[in-house]
Structure 1
Amino acid sequence: MNFSITVNGIKKTVEADPETPVLWVLRDNLRLTGTKYGCGVASCGACTVHINGEPTRSCQVPIEDAEGASITTIEGARGRVAQSVQQAWEELSVVQCGYCQSGQIMSAISLLSRNPRPDEADINDYMWGNACRCATYQRIRAAVQRASEILES
C-alpha cells in the first residue's frame, strides 16, 4: 500500500506493508539511516524521531498509523534548539560509540523545546528510557545543560 508522510519537511509517498514500523520505512525505503534500531520494543530510545512534534519510538509505530504525519529525523533536526544541542554535544565530546546518540539528541531537542531551562531532575526524568551502552549519561546530562546555556545566551 502507499502512504503519504512528510519527512524532514518533504512530502513523501512510500510503498510498504501497513504494519511496517516507521523505523524501517525511514531506513529501508527512504535511506535515512541516522535513526537506529536498538531493541525493537521501544525500551532503548535509539529509534526516537519526532512525529507531529512529539518524541516517538519509531520501532513501534506502524506506517499506517503515521499516514499524513510530519516526521523529523536526526537528519532533519533544524532550528535554534537543534543547533544548540548539536553544538553542546560537540563541545563536550558526548559521543563515544555514537549508536544511541541520534535518539539522545532527538529527545534532548524535545526536552529543550518544552523546557529551555531544565534542572538535573527534569533532564533525568525526560531522558530516562534513552539507553547508552557506553554509559555516557554524565556527558549527556552536561550537554543538555550546556545546550540550555547556549539557548539562554
Structure 2
Amino acid sequence: MSNLRINGTPHDIAAVPPETLLVDWLRDGLHLTGTHVGCDTSQCGACTVLVDGATAKACTLLVAQLDGSAVTTIEGLGTADALHPMQEAFRTAHGLQCGFCTPGMVMAGIGIAQRHGAEVDEATVRHELEGNLCRCTGYQNIVAAILAGAKEMSHAGV
C-alpha cells in the first residue's frame, strides 16, 4: 500500500498511474479544485501547495514521488468560520482581485512566513514571490497581506 496524506486524510496511491501529476490528481481525482492549473510549466505558481510543510508547485510533482508525504492544499488550511491567519490577512488586506492566483499566493505566503517569521521584510516577500504571477493586483496588497499574515501566524504560533 502506498500512502499520501492530503489535508490530513490518508489516501492509497498504489492505483494512481505513475505519470499522474499531483495537480491533476488533486483536481480530477480528489476534486480539490482550489489548486489551480495556470501554466503547466511551473512559471505561475497557481498550483502551489505545501508538501511536508514546504512550498512546492503541484504541476512539477508526480503523485508516485510523494509516497509517505503529507500535502496541504488551500482547502486544508481553515474554514469559512475560522480562516487560517494568512487567509484572513489576504481578506483584510484585499490581497486578491479575480482570485485565480490567490490560493497559490496564500500557500506561498505561508511558506515565506514559515521560513522568515514575523520579521520578514517587503523586499524578501517581493523576491520570494517571483515564481507566483498575478495579472490583476499589481502585488502591493498581496505583499501587505503576506507581511500581515506572517505576523499573525507568529502570534498564533502557526
TM-score of the aligned structures, taking structure 1 as reference length = 0.90
Residue in 2 that maps onto 1:23: 23
What is the deviation of 1:54? 1.2
Q: Relative to structure 2, which stretch is displaced further, 60-69 or 101-110?
A: 60-69
The residue aligned with 1:72 is 72
Deviations 1:83-114 (A, max 9, x none): 22111111112211000110000000111112
What is the DSSP-based 3-state SS (H/G/I as helix, E as strand, rest coil) of the residue aligned with 2:131? coil
Secondary structure, in 3 states, of the residue corresponding to 2:26?
A: helix
For residue 66 of structure 1, report the CA deviation from its aligned partner. 1.2
- Equivalent in the alignment of 2:59: 59
In the alignment, the residues of structure 1 paired with residue 57 and residue 153 of structure 2 have an alpha-carbon distance, to the nearest angstrom, of 26
- Partner AA of 1:55 in structure 2: T
CA distance 1:151–1:20, change in 2 (3 Å): closer
What residue is the counterpart of 1:99 in the other structure?
100
Change (3 A) 1:16 1:93: same
Taking the aligned partners of 1:126 and 1:147, their CA distance within structure 2 comes to 15
> 2:86·2:153 contact (CA, 8 Å) conserved in 1?
no
| Cα distance in 2 for residues equivalent to 1:7 and 1:83 | 17
Pairwise CA distance, 1:142: 0.9
Q: 1:152 to 1:62 in 2, by over 3 A?
A: closer
The 8 Å contact of residues 3 and 63 in structure 1, kept in 2 or not, is answered as: no
Alignment gaps of 5+ in structure 1: none
Percent identical: 35
**AA matched with 1:143:** A
Could you list the per-position Cα deviations for residues 112-132 of structure 1 after superposition, in whole angstroms to 9, with x for gaps in the alignment? 112121111110121111000
Deviation at 1:11, TM superposition (A): 0.5
- Secondary structure at 1:115's aligned position in 2? helix
For the residues of structure 2 that align with 1:60 and 1:146, how far apart are their CA atoms? 29
Structure 2 gap ranges (5+): none
Question: CA distance change for structure 1 residues 3 and 33 in 2, over 3 Å: closer, same or farther?
Answer: farther
Does residue 111 of structure 2 align to residue 110 of structure 1?
Answer: yes
The secondary structure found in structure 1 opposite 2:141 is helix
Find the aligned partners of 2:3 and 2:17 in 1 and give their Cα distance: 13
Alpha-carbon shift at residue 150 of structure 1 (Å):
3.0
Q: Is the 8 A contact 2:97 2:137 kept in 1?
A: no
Q: CA RMSD in A?
A: 1.7
Structure 1 residues 151, 5: closer, same or farther in 2, change over 3 A? closer
What SS does structure 2 have at the residue aligned with 1:102?
helix
TM-score normalized with structure 2 length: 0.87
Aligned to 2:128: 126
